[in-house]
Structure 1
Amino acid sequence: FVYHRMKDHPVETKDGLGLGLVDASGQYKRSWSLWALTNRFDIIPNKLSCGFQHLPYVLLKRALHSVDGHFTTTRPLPSGYKLERTWKLFREYQANTKLIFECVRTHDKRNFPSIHQNCENQEAWGPLGYIYIDQSTNSRAAPIYRCRSGTDYFISPDSNCENTTNEGLLGYVLS
């Protein structure tokens, strides 16, 4: 998360930076109502959006592009990718979970998931979410594997990786 002060500060605004929801004179900006009225879980029906509608989960997405191959993310999909399947990861730490990460290979910009925070010495895009370490906490959790076909990385619940290379178990997810 990126946090910034709610009210613009004169030192920043003189240089053109005004990230607050309230200007230096105390007037609410137009973005205030968007911020204040979005993702309200305290009213019925709730108005959760922007990924928060799945709390306490985030959706782990497997998508495919006809030219660029697969993409694994919990963020909105890049243009041209078609969603193939989703699974649930926890947004915050839970017992018996670990954080997994979204990574990109530096030489060809191929997206892949990793259990390593340093993204196996590749480019780190940030956390995907928390995944079960095993099935002891939730018997409904299913294994998910990192798979590779040539330079195309994808995730699959199939331990045979759909007849491609299994690069290892990431953890256990909920459907």
Structure 2
Amino acid sequence: MRRVAGRVVSTVAATIMAMGVAAPAAATEDVRDVARPDTAASIGSGSDSSPRLLLAETAPLTRYWGSKKDHMSSVFHPGAGYAAEFVLGQIHTTWATGTHPLFQCVTGTDRFTSPQFNCEGKSNIGEIGYAYSAPPAAPNRAFYRCLVRSNGEHFDSVDPNCEGQRLEGLLGYLLL
């Protein structure tokens, strides 16, 4: 359990808050008032009285480099062994008009981004967020999935030339 603004939040709810993704109802039910641990606390606003976690509409999508020679893009820090390289742009944390989901996938030790839920036949780790399918009216930039020619490692880039490596395709558009 973790204390947040006078309340104790379960590990699941705290993780969801840190990841910036929509919280399932079961996770919000674990938010308890410290003074009355037998009751759920309502945090947030809404027309009903159900507990809510306030989450950002967008989050920075950051490219990380890992000690196992692996790039990955995420809205949260992947943990020990990874260092942030740069922010690709802002990705929606929930669906918005004109967006499509992106998933974090893995094959061996290579984590990669895919617009396909089945991760192109590889393992799906989870949803990253939602990118625009076409350039939105707001300031934006395209980003791409690339492949290192020498070892087959995937990475995301805002460079359409994939930093001198092989272009695999457009992943979508991120807000600036």
Q: Gaps (5+ residues) in structure 1? A: 8-18, 43-50
Measured after TM superposition, the shift of residue 110 of structure 1 is 1.1
Q: Determine if contact 2:72/2:113 at 8 Å carries over to the other structure.
A: no
SS in 1 for 2:171: strand
The one-letter amino acid of 1:109's match is T
For residues 76-104 of structure 1, the C-alpha deviation after alignment (integer angstroms, 9 at most, x for no partner) is: 22212110112211111111111111111
> Whole-Å Cα distance in 2 between the matches of residues 138 and 125 of structure 1?
31
In the other structure, the counterpart of 2:157 is 156
In the other structure, the counterpart of 2:37 is 28
Measured after TM superposition, the shift of residue 151 of structure 1 is 2.7
Going from structure 1 to structure 2, the CA distance change for 1:160 and 1:124 (only over 3 Å counts) comes to same
What percent identity do the matched residue pairs reach? 26
Q: How many residues align?
A: 142
RMSD (Å) for aligned C-alpha atoms: 3.0
Q: Gaps (5+ residues) in structure 2? A: 1-22, 46-53
Task: Please report the TM-score for the alignment, with normalisation by the length of structure 1.
Answer: 0.69
> Whole-Å Cα distance in 2 between the matches of residues 96 and 20 of structure 1?
33
Please tell me whether Structure 1 or Structure 2 has the larger radius of gyration of its CA atoms. Answer: 1
For residues 102-160 of structure 1, the C-alpha deviation after alignment (integer angstroms, 9 at most, x for no partner) is: 1111xx1310000111110111111111101111x325211100011123211111111
In the other structure, the counterpart of 2:64 is 63
In the other structure, the counterpart of 2:100 is 98
| Greater strand share, structure number | 2
After superposition, residues 1-175 of structure 1 pair within 5 angstroms as: 1-4=23-26, 21=32, 28=37, 52=55, 55-86=56-87, 87-105=89-107, 108-135=108-135, 137-149=136-148, 150-175=151-176
